[in-house]
Every structure is written in C-alpha cells, then in structure tokens.
Amino acid sequence: MSDTCKVLIADKMDARAAAIFRERGVDVDERPGLSPEELAAIIGDYDGLAVRSSTRVTAAVMDAALPRLKVIGRAGIGVDTIDVPAASARGIVVMNTPFGNSITTAEHAIAMLFALAREIPDANQSTQAGKWEKNRFMGVELSGKTLGLIGCGNIGSIVADRAHGLKMKVVAYDPFLSPERAVELGVDKVELPELLARADFITLHTPLTDQTRGILSREALAAAKPGVRIVNCARGGLIDEAALKDALDSGHVAGAALDVFAQEPAKENALFGTRGLICTPHLGASTTEAQVNVAIQIAEQMSDFLLLGGISNAVNVPSLTAEEAPRLRPYMALAEKLGRLVGQIAGSEIRSIDVEVEGAAAELNIKPVTGAVLAGVMRSWSDSVNMVNAPYLAKERGIGVREIRNEAERDYHTLIAVSVGTAHGDRRVEGTLFGNRAPRLVNIFGIPVEAELTGQMIYIVNDDAPGFIGALGTALGENGINIATFNLGRHAAGGQAVALVAVDDPIPAEVVQRLQALPGVREVIPLAF
C-alpha cells in the first residue's frame, strides 16, 4: 500500500492518536467540528478518516471520498454513526475499538445500578436543598438480587464479573453466547421471556441492529417483573422510550438509568422529569483512561492497515493482523489471480463459488484468501472492486460462497483451488506458490497447465491436432502481436487442449474473431491480469 498516506481526524481525540500516525509515517490533519458539507468538501484528499461519535459518515460523504478513502476508524465501539452497508458497497473498511473502553462502560453500568438501588441522585438533590428526608429514600440491596444481561459479549461479561462480586445472581440473553462460555462466566443462559420474568435489574449490552432495535418494547416491558430497574449504557433505540415512560409512571418499572437515547444529543426528551429516571449524557466511555486507549488503538489499527495491510477489529471485512499480512500476501495474490481467471472465463454465468485450500495453505486464515478470490471474480464485472465490497456484491448477485480446508498434501505442498458453479456445470482452477512467493496456475478445468498469470493473455480451447500452434503463431504475428510466453496442456493426445498465451499488447476484437475461425478452435477469450 502507499507509504504517503494521509488521515483526517474529524472529532476531538486524544493527542496521542495524531502522534502515533506521525510516528508511523502517516500524514494527519486534525479538523474536529466540521459540518457535513465541509467534511464532504475535503474528504477526497484522505486515505483514512478517524472519528468518534459526533461525525456522521453518510453515503454522500463516502461518495465524495472516492476513490481515495480506504478506511474509516471509529475510536470506540458503536458504529451507528457510520453507514456501514454503504461503506461495504464502496469497498471502504470500517474499524472500531471494541476493547478500549469496555471496562469504563461496564463500570458506568455498575455505577448506574447503585444509583438506582439507593436513589442517590434524588437524595443528593434533596439534601443539598436543605432537606433531611431520611425516611423518604428507602433503597434496595443489590446483594441476592437477579441481574438480567441483554447481551453478554465483551462489556456484558465484565458486568457479570462485577455483579458476582456484589453477590448478585446473573442471567443472560444472548443468541451468540455458547453454553460453554455461559458456564465459564457463571451466568445462566436464558431466552428473553425468562430473563424478563426473573430479573430484578436489567442492563443492556448489545449493539443497535435491526434485530435489537426496540428489544425492550412495550410488550417486553409489560412482561418484565414488577418493580424491575433498568440500565442502558449501550445504545439508544434499544428501549421504546414512550413505553418506558408509561411503565415508570405506572410504577411497573421502579426505576431506569439511561446513558443513551434514541436521539442524541438529547437536549429534549419526553422521559425527562419522569419519576424514577436517572440520566447521564452518554458518559459510558468518558474516562481519561478510555479516551487515551481508544485513540491509541484506532491510530495503530489504521496505520497497520494503510502501511502494512493489517486489518484489526473491522466490522465489514475479515481480520488480517499486521503479523499475518506478509505471510498471507502471496496467497492472496494467487487467490486473486485465480478468481480473476475463472471470473473472466465463466463471466456472469457464475452461481456459486467454492474456495478450497490444501496443504500449507490450510493452516492459514482462510477468510482473506476467500475475499481475494471474490475480488478477483468480481473484477470481471467492475473495476472498483476489492476485498471489502466483493462479498457484498456476491451476496447481492445471489452467489453462494463456500470454504473448504484439506490439510493433506497431494501433488503440491500448498494449493488453492477455485470452483465456480454455472448453468453449464462446474469449472475449477488450481494454483500454487513456487518458492512460497511466486503464484502459478497448475490446472485449468481438469487440464494440467503451468502458467504465470500476468499482463495480457489469451485463453484458447482447441482440438489437439498437428499444426495448430504454428497456425496460432502465424495469426498473431500477421497482426503484429508478439508472444511473451506460451503455455499448453491437454487431456490426451487428439483430445481437448488448452493454450494460455501471454502477449505484449491487448487483443483487438478482430484478432479474436480470426483466432476463433482457426480450424479446431472451440473458444477464445482475451484475459487481463
């Protein structure tokens, strides 16, 4: 990748982020507080965009950023201010820092639990007003109560650990939580209805998605245990705010502590002033330690990607660490060329793609290899394709993708095979690395052919017969086309044969027609790598 990369930091961020970019050799501008129009006007000059939660990165901003912008880095967890599907469609990597503020956010949730249980904000306000309402504020203990976690990932698991220290019982609803992990965390894995029925306190620790939006709906709140107290330090939109207000007014929900709201900044909200409500202005990640951590992490991740090709904590493309990237790069180059080959030959007929790795290749992280294959295939249809948007385009076209590992070695110590399914049957190409670095084709559609896939080439299928190679060379020579390399293979003498001919210049359509007219020729396809 380029060693003269440039990054824009568009939100207020710890100064160490900019320092890390500069130390790594990345140019950086700090321009917090830009309007959407101002951001769109300058973003086309940058390879990377680093944000927190203030800047909204829309499809329109990304369109203004193309073709240069490669990565958007969120210093924090939530990426709901970034149009991730739009980024994926445009081939832009979106990264976050899911671990930099985990402890801080979990601690804020625990603080909210205490504040709810002992009515601390109201008691503080009353006391400072000169009242001494000792009998008014009758709290409840956390010890012995049941805490229900909606989401038990990184932050939820930290909250569970802290809750155990408070002698609470913990139940968790999380479709991605395995039974083994639940046992390890000491939580009871349950479905949402059971959690609602059992929990004295509920905390939310899930991203905002189509599946989680409004997860605490009016119906869910009605099904909750009477007197439940609810904490949300995750994302606004997880709770139906109008329904929560009604539940607080009726007393069915004894209290709610919210750090996040459906609309932010929440300078006005129908919940404000409701009995039993505690609010903070999205402070979950607001500690000195967390701000430093996420700034450092996003600068390191973006630098690794721009300079080394490493992909860490991306939400729309498989991870590829900076340590893995050098070892995987030759395999990805091979995979891309194989995808490019089969994509140009099979074209829009492709209905499915199988990526198979054998031998040494089976020990690798296969996801980037698959991404490279898909990028190669899709470049037959669009030049603006990369590993990020290729899976998106494959899904959009209804192309099924499958990965296969085979640790056994056959003819080669390492092998990548790409099989595509078409209406006319399957087509398979195979390749290996010579010297662990040089990509080579070794089989095309069942015919052994050793070839370097490079530059301009011609793919020819013909009947194996004496004189064909001479006729082919003559036809190319008469049209001023110089042959660079000539690679041949066949099923058997007199059967079907394949030629892959590298030439110095692109093949004009009229030359393709002349080659197609040669005796015994079945198929002629110009290729470009």
Residue bearing tokens 């991306």: 314
Rounded Cα gap, residues 328 and 349, in angstroms: 29
Q: What is the SS3 assignment for 251?
A: coil
Distance, in Å, from the CA atom of 96 to the CA atom of 301, rounded to the nearest integer, reads 9
d(CA 194, CA 157): 19
Among 235, 340, 427, 440, the active-site one is: 235
Contact yes or no for 268/294 (Cβ under 8 A): no
Q: Is 252 annotated as catalytic?
A: no
Sign of CA dihedral 376, 378, 383, 385: negative
Task: Choose the catalytic residue: 264, 324, 403, 450.
Answer: 264
Alpha-carbon span 167 to 146, nearest angstrom: 9
- Which H helix or E strand runs over 115? helix 102-118
Contact (Cβ atoms closer than 8 angstroms) between residue 176 and residue 156: no
Say how far apart CA 500 and CA 384 lie, in whole Å.
26
Instruction: For residue 19, give the 3-state DSSP assignment.
Output: helix
Phi, psi for residue 115 in degrees, rounded to 5: -60, -40
CA distances from 66 to 41, 47, 138, 185, 316 (A): 12, 9, 59, 44, 18
Task: Report the sign of the C-alpha dihedral through residues 371, 395, 176, 104, in that order.
Answer: positive
Question: Do 507 and 435 touch, CB atoms closer than 8 A?
Answer: no
Q: Work out the angle at residue 70's Cα, subtended by the Cα atoms of residues 67 and 72, and round it to the nearest 5 degrees.
A: 125
Active site residue 235: yes
List active site positions: 235, 264, 282
